[in-house]
Amino acid sequence: MKKDILQTVPSILIRLAQLLETEVKNRRLEIPKKFGRGYCTGYIFNEHIRLLISNYELKEDLIIENPDIHILGRMIVFKFQNIFTGTLSPKQQLKAAPSVLIATSRVNTDAMISIHTNTATINIEVDADYLNGLFDLQEKSRVLRSLLQNAQPLLFEQIIYPSLQKIVDEIVAEQVDKTFQLFYLRVKAEELICRLLMELVKRDEKRLYPLNIHDIQTIYKVKEQMLEYLDTPPLIKELAEKANMSPSKLKRLFKQIFGNSIFSYYQGFRMKEAARLLKEEKLSVSDVGYELGFTNLSHFSRVFKEHTGMKPKQYSRS
């Protein structure tokens, strides 16, 4: 690898190649067959922003020492997940909806990185000071100010809507001449970050609470439990007991991470599943309503229209 190319490759990618007994060629690591399959490609655009695309399966987990721990301490991480959905069933796609995790560096400053057997993500790391220099935050939301200050452990998740997914697809699949590749990918990465920050500004949190790994894991277990049983509306008291949290703390942290209340978040995914059953499974309106726990079909029709703009029967024929 030429020296100028080497300087634009994240150290973690080079370290991974060494462990897999191979090399990074043109900023891309192909997983050797004896270790698994897939690829990982990485780019350091400048001292402010870097990109890592991972889409691979390994036969066993690896633990790698993080060679860039001194750099990551000032970075905000944008982790896009569930964006390679080709191998997932429709029901799996609902539970693993494309989303992005937005985290301050203080959420995870470990010197060791776990490389899991099945990874399909895009990571964009951006220097917090660089972003701070781009915005006048005096009138902006507390969420955005707290994120860019990068002073406490915070995590937010944002669902990826179609226009964002289009940019992600362009980053992964667009064929660009080598002359323009770094510039093209940096522009696309910064466009993604800008659009995501614009979404975070819409959140109306008056106060943000520092998060620890245990609380994050607990909130995600609550989310998984809700999406597993879309026919059963969540009861806060029961969820809080299982999470070993007070109801107020559960509601507070859930909304902080996902930007929505527990019930609103559940109802949104419930209506996505209703839309899938109507369109893809060709079920009747009554069958869909009853399958998703509605005893009153008029209520189901009203809720569905609130989320999609159309009544169920109209949607199934569209």
Together in a domain, 15 and 39: yes
Together in a domain, 141 and 90: yes
Domain range enclosing 300: 213-317
Q: Which of 55, 107, 115 is nearest to 82 (CA)?
A: 55
**Do residues 295 and 231 lie in contact, with contact meaning Cβ atoms separated by under 8 Å?**
no
Its sign, for the CA torsion 234, 236, 240, 245, is positive
* CA 159 to chain centroid: 7
Together in a domain, 191 and 300: no
SS3 call for 87: coil
Together in a domain, 259 and 111: no
User: What tens-digit pLDDT sequence spans the chain (318 residues)?
Assistant: 444 555 789 988 999 999 999 999 989 999 999 999 999 999 999 999 999 999 998 888 888 877 776 666 788 999 998 888 555 555 556 667 889 999 998 776 554 455 566 678 899 999 999 998 888 766 668 899 899 989 899 999 999 988 999 999 999 988 899 899 999 999 999 999 999 999 999 998 888 999 998 999 999 999 999 999 999 999 999 999 999 999 999 999 999 999 999 999 999 999 999 999 999 999 999 999 999 999 999 999 999 999 999 999 999 888
Among 177, 201, 225, residue at a domain's last position = 201
Strands (DSSP E) found in 85-244: 99-103, 112-115, 118-127, 155-159
Together in a domain, 135 and 178: yes
**Cα separation, 95 vs 273, whole angstroms:** 10
For residue 236 the two structure tokens come to 């806060």
Q: Which residues lie closer than 8 Å to 134 by C-beta, 6 or more apart?
A: none
Among 201, 221, 256, residue at a domain's last position = 201
Together in a domain, 310 and 228: yes
Q: Produce one character per residue of 224-257: b if its CB has 16 or more CB atoms within 10 Å, e if not.
A: eebbeebeeebebeebbeebebebeebbbbbbbb
Determine the longest span between alpha carbons in the chain, in angstroms. Answer: 67
Residue 73 vs residues 48, 76, 77, 108, 129: alpha-carbon distances, Å:
12, 9, 10, 9, 12
**Cα separation, 10 vs 14, whole angstroms:** 7
In a domain, 191, yes or no: yes
Together in a domain, 81 and 103: yes
In the chain, how many domains are there?
A: 2
pTM greater than 0.85: yes
Among 137, 168, 201, residue at a domain's last position = 201
Together in a domain, 136 and 248: no
**Cα separation, 78 vs 199, whole angstroms:** 13
